[in-house]
Copies of this chain bind each other. A is one copy, B any other.
Amino acid sequence: MPRTVLDRSDAVLALAGVFRRRGFESGSLSVIQQETGIGRGSLYHFFPDGKADMARAVLAQVRAWFDEQVFEPLRTATDAAQAVTAMSRVVEEYFASRERVCLFAAMTLGEEQETFAAEVRAYFADWVDVLAGTLERGGAAKPKAAGLAVDAVAAIQGGLIMTRALNDDAVFSGIVARANERLLAALG
């Protein structure tokens, strides 16, 4: 039997898929092993502290992706309208190819809530802050920017719920498109 050598990041990607499909609690070691082909030995080699370690690594990977693909472009944008629209496009593509599930949002439910409360709070707070900053630089009325940013992120998260509930990808697209319009309108 050939030994398939993988590294930690391969495992993180595979774990993310399982957690998105089955949830963190019900993604048991057995189904992880079965769906990813990664044995218990490898799992505990990469994640010595077990499931909590796996969840932490997956969350960190998602966070890094958003830092790079969403937050940093917003931070460094010179054209706010273009940056906001780019965010909408990137976010829509991201969730469309990832089971329409936000792992950070999933972590606000259930027992593990407290375990990752700090990471979850930071993810959403940073997203809101960086978006509000872009809006302000784009000319949005200062006191309005924060509310607009919270509403936009909430629209995205609520959109994921609605699109899963109604099992219709177009629902998410519509919600994101209209949220984007509201942001652009505030940029005058």
| A51 and B71 alpha carbons, distance in the complex (Å) | 41
Contacts of A117 in B (CB 8 A): 167
Choice from B108, B124, B175 contacting A150 with Cβ under 8 Å:
B175
Counted per complex, copies of this chain come to 2
Give residues of chain A (1-29) contacting chain B, Cβ–Cβ below 8 Å: 22-23, 25-26
- A residues with a Cβ closer than 8 A to B are 22-23, 25-26, 101, 104-106, 108-111, 113, 117, 120-121, 123-125, 147, 150-151, 153-159, 161-162, 164-167, 171, 174-175, 178-179
Q: Which residue of B lies closest to A108 (CB)?
A: B164
Whether the pair A165, B108 counts as a contact (CB closer than 8 A) is yes
Q: List the B residue with the shortest CB-CB distance to A148.
A: B178
User: What is the CB-to-nearest-CB distance from A91 to chain B, in angstroms, rounded to a whole number?
Assistant: 13
Q: Which applies to chain A's interface (DSSP): helix, strand, loop or mixed?
A: helix
- Are B154 and A161 in touch, CB under 8 angstroms? yes
A111 to B180, CA, bound (A): 32
Set of chain B residues within 8 Å of A110, measured between Cβ atoms: 22-23, 25-26
Q: Whose C-beta in chain B lies nearest to the C-beta of A146?
A: B174
What is the bound-complex CA distance between A117 and B168, given in angstroms? 13
Contacts of A158 in B (CB 8 A): 153-159, 161
Query: Given A151-B178, A162-B157, are A167 and B121 neighbors across the interface (CB < 8 Å)?
Result: yes
Interfacial chain B residues near A120, Cβ < 8 Å: 165
- Is there an interface contact between A111 and B154, defined as CB atoms closer than 8 Å? no
Could you tell me the distance in whole angstroms from the C-beta of A181 to the nearest C-beta in chain B? Answer: 10
Say whether, besides A26-B111, A111-B23, A174 and B150 are in contact (CB < 8 Å).
yes
Give the one of A108, A123, A153 with max B CB within 10 A: A108
CB contact between A154 and one of B26, B106, B155 (< 8 Å): that residue: B155
